[in-house]
Amino acid sequence: MSLYLALIYGDETYRATMSAEDGAEIFAGHMAFQEIAGDAHIGGHPLQPSNMATSIRHDADGKAVITDGPFAEAKEALGGYYVIEAPDLDAAIALASKIPAPHGGIELRPIEMMN
């Protein structure tokens, strides 16, 4: 079995202005996904908006340079993630395709294990 990181991207404007009903529907979709995934759902959480991000880069001398905001500006922001376990990429894609992302999409990446 392998681990995969499912990054959930979406429109932050929609998220900030959605109705309580829409929020409840999306939440219910995530609860349903977690039930469908069962033991393949290792973990995951929603993230605060990108304006709450802090980016850390290192300069040529190795000194940390701290800036407010996301690492890169993008139309769709990273809004949450899941870690899932699957026997192969095809199975991971099949499972990740069930993650609700009505105003965005999912980026699926294999996790490289460091042994």
Blockwise average pLDDT, block size 10, the chain, 115 residues: 96 85 92 96 94 92 90 83 98 97 93 89
Give the integer Cα–Cα distance in Å for 18 and 7. 21
pTM attached to this predicted model: 0.87
Of the options 3.40.930.10, 3.30.230.10, 3.30.70.1060, 3.30.1330.10, the CATH number for the domain spanning 2-110: 3.30.70.1060
- pLDDT at site 12: 85
pLDDT at 65: 93
pLDDT at 63: 96
State residue 114's pLDDT score: 87
Compute CA 93 distance to the chain's CA centroid, rounded to the nearest angstrom. 14
